[in-house]
């Protein structure tokens, strides 16, 4: 059974700060890693995907993957109040291709 664990939060940061969200996974054969953002009452939307070790940057977002440590993180630079949402880590590949989601971390960015 593939497991995905996220820091439970909630996480609160001031506007302009860096928000750091963390995720660990149990299936060492996992190949694909995703970060989804979910606003309250809305459906999840993909913000980052990463498939190989290292960093991947997209605007203010940076995903980091360390397969040896089975760890994936999301950094949000210059956090804005509009970044306030629940962030879901998802993992697939390895023993099966289905996406398994963590329980999510609620981020609040305070003006």
Partner 1 sequence: NAGVTQTPKFQVLKTGQSMTLQCAQDMNHNSMYWYRQDPGMGLRLIYYSASEGTTDKGEVPNGYNVSRLNKREFSLRLESAAPSQTSVYFCASQGSPANTGELFFGEGSRLTVL
Name the residues that contact partner 1, by CB under 8 A: 31-32, 34, 36, 42-46, 49, 51, 88, 90, 92-93, 97-104
Instruction: Name the residue nearer to partner 1 (CB basis): 76 or 104.
Output: 104
- Which of 82, 90, 92 lies closest to 46 in space, CA to CA? 90
Minimum distance from CB of 17 to partner 1 (Å)?
A: 25
Instruction: Name the residue nearer to partner 1 (CB basis): 52 or 111.
Output: 52
Minimum distance from CB of 23 to partner 1 (Å)?
A: 11
What is the phi/psi pair of residue 81, to 5°?
A: -55, -30
Minimum distance from CB of 103 to partner 1 (Å)?
A: 4
Tokens of 82: 């509009």
Question: 87 has which bridge partners?
Answer: 37, 105
Q: Which residues of 65-90 are buried (b: 16+ CB within 10 A; e: fewer)?
A: beeeebebbbbbeebeeebbbbbbbb
Minimum distance from CB of 28 to partner 1 (Å)?
A: 16
Return the percent helix, strand and coil in the chain, to nearest 5.
5, 60, 35
Instruction: Name the residue nearer to partner 1 (CB basis): 90 or 107.
Output: 90
Instruction: Name the residue nearer to partner 1 (CB basis): 9 or 71.
Output: 9
């Amino acid at each position: 059974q593939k497991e995905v664990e996220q820091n439970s939060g909630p996480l609160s940061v001031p506007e302009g700060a860096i928000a750091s969200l963390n995720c660990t996974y149990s299936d060492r054969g996992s190949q694909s890693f995703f970060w989804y953002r979910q606003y309250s009452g809305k459906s999840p939307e993909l913000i980052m995907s990463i498939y190989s070790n290292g960093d991947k940057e997209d605007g203010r977002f940076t995903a980091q993957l360390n397969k040896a440590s089975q760890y994936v993180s999301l950094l949000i630079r210059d956090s804005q109040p509009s970044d306030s949402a629940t962030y879901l880590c998802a993992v697939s590949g390895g023993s099966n291709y289905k996406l398994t989601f963590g329980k999510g971390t609620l981020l609040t960015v305070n003006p």
